[in-house]
Structure 1
Amino acid sequence: MSGKPAGAGAADSQAHQPTHPDAIRNVVLIGQAGSGKTTLVEALLTATGAVARMGRVEDGTTVCDYDEAEIRQQRSIGLSLAPLVVGDVKINLLDTPGYADFVGDLRAGLRAADCALFVVSAHEGVDGATRALWQECAAVSMPRCVVISKLNHPRADYTGVLAQTQEAFGDKVVPLYVPVAHEGSDGDDLVALLSRTVSDYSASGRIVRQPSEEEQLLLDEHRGALIEAVIEESEDESLMDRYMGGEDIDFDLLVNDLEIAVARASFYPVIGVCALTGLGLDELLEIITQAFPAPSEHPLPAVYTSMGKAVDALACDPDGALLAEVVKTTSDPYVGRISVVRVFSGTITPDATVHVSGHFS
């Protein structure tokens, strides 16, 4: 959102793993089978230097699909965790299966996350299960972003799928960036509606430049709807009157109001990406790091003793009392049983013994 490449220089930062709750983002990826969730995770890992080379689902070389059955079937069948670091922020990406047969792992990912990326294929659109999951996230006010993937597909229809997501998810689903497909191209550019710049991916990497005449027309067409949607969620009630009166609202003010609205789940940005070409990856990382909330901003679950008595509310404090949930346990033939644990408060150290003394909901 700031226009600064979020992934720039990230390779060196992978050795530094932030641990404070304010510097962590727990993000679950939701979408139907084949929408490109695993490939998107792989692209983000590569863009930030977490892995040296991007794997492929077809080759069985992705980080998330490591199980023999996943490699053989070329699809995700279980919840996978993929961490990466962008600057001073650690992002835990939770890749979930898209088939209804594995809904248990999907719900485990929802419990472990603070925010969600809804991945929708640009050539398939929104299915019924994804609509239902959007409503589940809405019921608990989980912040969400819509990622329209596979922009390089021969049958990609960004405009049509965008309209479909807005019909399915509501009028607060608004593009933050608009992809541009030039003649003879699958789409090399993203028009940033807030900053009124263009991210050009036609060469190697991302170059931010001023819009061409064609891109300026696209910007003018879409920017007004975004500005109005952001201002409607602003706590400053005078902004709408000022905007309708012709005032050009300050960019930093708009960004601040946008980030607040996304974090409190009252505004849902849309971004088009192409994992294979890198289009939109930096912009998506900016949304995650700058607008998605940290665990310290997420309400902790209600806690009860083993006798059913409510416990006083805890804080998201590494030095506080331990509050954690085992999200998933798997058995590895080489290392034995492995558990993915979401820590809400306190700290778990290697070889620590933990006594279960209560439960939460």
Structure 2
Amino acid sequence: MKGYETKCIRNIALLGHGGAGKTTLAEAMLYTAGMTSRLGRVEAGNTVSDFDPEEVKRKISIRTSLVPIEWKEHKINILDTPGYYDLVGGIKEALSVADSALIVMKGSAGLEVGTEKAWEYATEANIPKMIFVTEMDAENVDMEAILTECKAKFGSSIAPVQVPWYEEGKFVGYVHVLKMMGRRFDGTKVVTCPIPDCLKEKIAPVRTMILEAVAESDEILMEKYFAEEEMTPEEIQEAYRKGVMEKQIVPVLCGSSLYSTGISVLMDTILDLFPSPDEGNKALGVLGMNEEPIEVVCNSTKQPSLFIFKTIVDPFIGKFSLFKVRSGIVRTDDILINSRTNEAEKLSHLYVLSGKEQKEVEKLYAGDIGAVAKLKTAQTSDTLADKAFPISYEKIVYPKPFVKMAIFPSGKGDEEKMSTSLAKLMAEDKTFYIEYDKETRETVIYGIGKQQLEIIVSMLKTKFKVDVYLENPTTRYRETIKSKVNVRGKHKKQSGGHGQYGDVQMEFEPSGDLEMPYIFEEKIFGGSVPKQYFPAVEKGLEECVMRGVLAGYPVVGVKAILVDGSYHPVDSSEMAFKMATTIAFKEGLTKAQPTLLEPIAHVEITVPDEYTGDIMGDMKKRRGRMVGMELKGKKQVIIAEVPMAELYTYATDVRSMTQGKGDVDYYFERYEEAPIDVQQKVIAARKDMA
């Protein structure tokens, strides 16, 4: 593949609902451009962008993949993203380097939740958008209804370019409303023809949409529009592109990916209306040791710098770092500095990836997307730059994962292999991470949703040959006491020679501070216990609070007072007093109304108003307590307090209840006494484990 200069590059994030046809559209573009000899199909598992065995098996995109397309002396870098929210990390990565977004809608399905999400992501990234309605050849596709729904949801920026043309129920062409020309499909070619009489009525409202959108992007044209003066085709075309570039106009095109109809027009429109990298947003970063904020225009005249937006770790081909050249020209054997580690990285080989295929190139111009293999320390979101241009670009901001599960190897001795493999998967997917819980001695994995964690488990088995299973993590319960007691603990042992003797009388009562395991005081009078043994008593307490008397959970909120005791001048020792304290502790806590505490989370659920009833009903089942509600934009934020044990997969459950429109955020708030029935279940479960 030849090198393309910045002006001739378009970087497009392909977004949309899961199953909307993004991957099929990428295939149609490749085929139309003559870059493949056959049209790959998701169902057949032979598409360019869905090449991972897990993607082939599940028939969905799991990771963002790069598909470069050469079209009319230009290069269109398609970033084919996953459509399911659990895999949102790939979308964030694509949008960090895309200069525009193509949102794919399935004609037979209309506006779906994933379409709304895609719009939100592209708006947040502040890049131009275009909508492509595919499957126009399917039955009962109502383009007018789709446009009306889009306009109602997304506003007056929606400006369709085409009116579909049907003959005997078959999609045969369209009217280009911007240019007021008829276009008929002839195989993969498009032939210009007169506008058919049957479509003239349908064209009028669409033409009005375009003129309204164009008028809103230019004051002079706004005056013309209200004065009902005719705009010239050149004025409309120029204002239309300006409106798209300034994110005020969103073109809507239509076609059929399955039969490659309307695809060449789509690619022409991408070249005409979407920005090249030097026309897109400036990259934000900080420069030098002083971290001076800087905006970088994408051009090839500056010193080279690149931003790594994705990492691929494969057991067979090794590690690939995908990057966008943010400035200058990057060449094979360049040595660039990693701004995070300050280490030099040599770019031994440069590649352009097309799905899993690697094409080696000698150089890449600013704005282009490529890959490099086997960098030493580089990670996703790292910046590599020339030593004379020490920039660090803004890192990708990922959503916080709230679904967590404990993971265990099925085979004995596979712990290390599991950990190594998980670390490789974590390098690929930054919305997934692992944590070893020292208290419960469990490896806990965190993800955006259950589907994502299921994919991780499957990848461990197929890619890394590690069989694992998931369980709910052990909840970090705590134990405390509710009453005051006075107990004695005596440790006495005689076995010839020096014996062991320790005797303590102690009071145990609630301290009122559940953040502290214990508070220790001594009120010894007359030297019944010498001061030298006080540290031993406290050491005994420190060890005892690690394991309570009910279910073996750590103890909190206990005040222990040493009030009396006795000692032996020969047989007493620090060990003896520590043992005596242990005896007193166990007896004391057993008598002082021990109780189990459960962790409580502060939870905020953001949902459209129509789902608040469902969420609140479900909240009661989870023993949650409502704290309040707030209006945030057009959505309700439900604030509640819920036991942590009820929340491990709650983020996924909320999305199921709200058709993917709800979001969850929560954090640990405090400990409080668990209901008796919960305590009994937890204690019984711990006894079964023992």
The TM-score, its normalising length taken from structure 1, stands at: 0.89
Quick one: distance in 2 between partners of 1:24 and 1:252? 24
1:217 aligned residue: 201
Quick one: distance in 2 between partners of 1:285 and 1:71? 27
1:270 to 1:184, Cα distance in 2 relative to 1, 3 A:
closer
Deviates more, 1:52-61 or 1:137-146: 137-146
**Contact 2:103–2:118 (CA under 8 A) maintained in structure 1:** no
1:11 aligned residue: none
**Contact 2:161–2:177 (CA under 8 A) maintained in structure 1:** yes
CA deviation map 1:97-135 (0-9, x unaligned): 111121111110111101000111112223334323423
Paired letter, 2:234: D
Query: Per the alignment, in what secondary structure is the counterpart of residue 147 of structure 1?
Result: strand
2:392 aligned residue: 359
Quick one: distance in 2 between partners of 1:347 and 1:316? 11
Q: Does 1:56 align with 2:41?
A: yes
Quick one: distance in 2 between partners of 1:111 and 1:94? 11
1:151 aligned residue: 136
Q: Does 1:229 align with 2:213?
A: yes
Deviates more, 1:39-48 or 1:148-157: 148-157
1:89-238 → structure 2 map (5 Å cutoff): 89-185=74-170, 187-201=171-185, 203=187, 205-234=189-218, 237-238=219-220
**Contact 2:309–2:323 (CA under 8 A) maintained in structure 1:** yes
1:3 aligned residue: none
Q: Does 1:348 align with 2:333?
A: no
Deviates more, 1:176-185 or 1:263-272: 176-185
Paired letter, 1:22: K
CA deviation map 1:149-208 (0-9, x unaligned): 1112235332222222222221111211111222241x1111110211111115562111
Quick one: distance in 2 between partners of 1:179 and 1:334? 47
**Contact 1:44–1:281 (CA under 8 A) maintained in structure 2:** yes
2:29 aligned residue: 44
1:256 aligned residue: 238
Quick one: distance in 1 between partners of 2:114 and 2:107? 17
Quick one: distance in 2 between partners of 1:291 and 1:18? 22
Shift of 1:18: 4.7
CA deviation map 1:74-118 (0-9, x unaligned): 111111100112212211000001111211111101111010001
CA deviation map 1:325-350 (0-9, x unaligned): 11111123443211210111122222
**Contact 2:29–2:263 (CA under 8 A) maintained in structure 1:** yes
Structure 1, gaps ≥5 residues long: 1-14
2:265 aligned residue: 283
**Contact 1:78–1:96 (CA under 8 A) maintained in structure 2:** yes
2:351 aligned residue: none
Task: Tell me the number of residue pairs that the alignment of Structure 1 and Structure 2 aligns.
Answer: 343
Paired letter, 2:310: K
Paired letter, 1:72: K
1:86 to 1:123, Cα distance in 2 relative to 1, 3 A:
same
Q: Does 1:27 align with 2:9?
A: no
**Contact 1:196–1:210 (CA under 8 A) maintained in structure 2:** no
1:72 aligns with one of 35, 52, 57: 57
Quick one: distance in 1 between partners of 2:54 and 2:288? 39
Larger relative contact order (C-alpha < 8 A, sep ≥ 6)?
1
Quick one: distance in 2 between partners of 1:120 and 1:99? 14
Paired letter, 1:229: A
**Contact 2:217–2:239 (CA under 8 A) maintained in structure 1:** yes
**Contact 1:18–1:88 (CA under 8 A) maintained in structure 2:** no
Quick one: distance in 1 between partners of 2:23 and 2:125? 25
**Contact 1:194–1:223 (CA under 8 A) maintained in structure 2:** yes
1:4 aligned residue: none
1:302 aligned residue: 284
Q: Where does structure 1 differ by over 6 angstroms across 4 or more consecutive aligned residues?
A: none
**Contact 1:201–1:278 (CA under 8 A) maintained in structure 2:** no
Quick one: distance in 1 between partners of 2:328 and 2:223? 46
1:204 to 1:336, Cα distance in 2 relative to 1, 3 A:
closer
2:423 aligned residue: none
Quick one: distance in 2 between partners of 1:343 and 1:238? 38
Shift of 1:292: 0.4
1:140 to 1:68, Cα distance in 2 relative to 1, 3 A:
closer
**Contact 1:315–1:345 (CA under 8 A) maintained in structure 2:** yes
1:203 to 1:62, Cα distance in 2 relative to 1, 3 A:
closer
Deviates more, 1:96-105 or 1:194-203: 194-203
The TM-score, its normalising length taken from structure 2, stands at: 0.48
Quick one: distance in 2 between partners of 1:209 and 1:155? 25
Quick one: distance in 2 between partners of 1:49 and 1:62? 15
Task: Return the index of the structure with the highest Cα Rg.
Answer: 2
1:267 aligned residue: 249
Q: Does 1:83 align with 2:116?
A: no
1:327 aligned residue: 309
Deviates more, 1:64-73 or 1:302-311: 302-311
1:7 aligned residue: none
CA deviation map 1:256-311 (0-9, x unaligned): 11111111111001111211222221221122101101110123222224645115
Deviates more, 1:340-349 or 1:243-252: 243-252
Deviates more, 1:153-162 or 1:116-125: 153-162
Shift of 1:246: 4.6
Deviates more, 1:274-283 or 1:190-199: 274-283
Query: Per the alignment, in what secondary structure is the counterpart of residue 35 of structure 1?
Result: coil
Quick one: distance in 1 between partners of 2:6 and 2:89? 26
Query: Per the alignment, in what secondary structure is the counterpart of residue 209 of structure 2?
Result: helix
Paired letter, 2:136: L
Paired letter, 1:161: I
Paired letter, 2:36: V
Deviates more, 1:203-212 or 1:83-92: 203-212
Query: Per the alignment, in what secondary structure is the counterpart of residue 319 of structure 1?
Result: coil
